[in-house]
Amino acid sequence: MTANEPMVEASGIGKTFTLPAQSLFGEAKRVAAVVDVSFRIPHGRTFGLVGESGSGKSTIAKMLLKLEAPTEGDLRVEGQPIFRQSPAEELAYRRKVQAVFQDPYGSLSPRMRADRIVSEPLRAHGMPRREAEARAPDLLRIVGLPPEAALKYPHEFSGGQRQRLAIARALSVDPQLLVLDEPVSALDVSVRAQVLALLRDMQQRLGLTYLFIGHDLAVVRYLSDIVGVMYFGRVVEVGPARQVLRQPFHPYTRRLVALASGDAPLGAVRMQGELPSPLNPPSGCLFRTRCTYADTTCIDQRPEMRDAGSEHMVACHHYEAVVAGTKAETGPQLREA
């Protein structure tokens, strides 16, 4: 491992799902959930992925957890291609990477006591039950739950406490990388703040690397060092969190940030146009059907990722003019090429 080798490196990864054919002789339709996505997550940092539902964020999380295999590209963790592992490497990988999901109700077995829940991964990796469960009080303490919580069942915990339990379980095998897929979206605001503060504290104390998926931009910015913005399976902008979420370049990110700021009166910032169909994506730029700046170039050519300086990349034909305020609002462009 070299000094500046990233924890995670995705190079042009993609995932295409084939839908069942509508008729016996009909052609099977294919949906690209993730297309040509590249990013790097340095050790001990957080990569935040934002985008609307269906943009492919969770598919990327699933790939990193090896729950879905990419159909294109290469996904490496600490230099190792994770889809070409020996069984021994795979076992070690599953200790290295753990996950916390959105639903704190669906992700804990209602029949297991908390001490078993948090020690389950240790047992799965071969530790005897007694020894594994002896670690439970320590794990609960790390996430701020009292020791007596060990003897309770999931239904006895609140949503926030359940999410702490899920985090304790993820931490049990001393992972290096946590995949956090909307971990606070289902929580109340005050509890959300508690869990976010806990995640930040865990990262500083344990040197963890996070892939953090969220749709609340303020939340994503609280934890993230680098942010990627996804739209219909593609990353349209990526860069340092401060820049991307404060001075966004891509018209889509700019709209998201304006919507999220909550300063504008209701209705002042709106997404115009139409959402494209994933079955029949538009030509050129996928955002052109909702982008006020779109013109004929956007219908004809798919924008490539361009370097905008300071590790900030953006896929938009016109971002310079958009940022400078000199681009005419000629969109959205709804017609086909």
Binding site for another protein (CB under 8 A): 52-54, 158-161, 188-194, 196-197, 215-216, 218-219, 221-222, 242, 246, 255-256, 259-260, 262, 265-267, 269-271, 274-275
- Which residue reads 């909307």 in tokens? 182
Q: How far apart are CA 261 and CA 108, in angstroms?
A: 34
* Nearer CB in complex with another protein: 51/303: 51
Give the shortest CB-122-to-another protein separation in angstroms: 28
* Nearer CB in complex with another protein: 52/320: 52
- According to DSSP, residue 280 is labeled B
Give the shortest CB-312-to-another protein separation in angstroms: 16
How many angstroms from the chain centroid is the CA of residue 307? 22
* Nearer CB in complex with another protein: 166/173: 166
Give the shortest CB-60-to-another protein separation in angstroms: 17
* Nearer CB in complex with another protein: 70/160: 160
Give the shortest CB-184-to-another protein separation in angstroms: 10
* Nearer CB in complex with another protein: 105/301: 105
Query: Quick one: which H or E segment has residue 307?
Result: strand 306-307
Give the shortest CB-89-to-another protein separation in angstroms: 37
Q: Which residues contact 208 (CB under 8 A, 6 or more apart)?
A: 44, 175, 176, 177, 178, 202
* Nearer CB in complex with another protein: 112/334: 334
Give the shortest CB-90-to-another protein separation in angstroms: 35
**What is the 3-class SS of 56-121, one letter each residue?**
CHHHHHHHHCCCCCCCEEEEEECCEECCCCCHHHHHHHHHHEEEECCCCCCCCCCCCCHHHHHHHH
Angstrom CA distances, 230 to 194, 199, 254, stand at 27, 23, 13
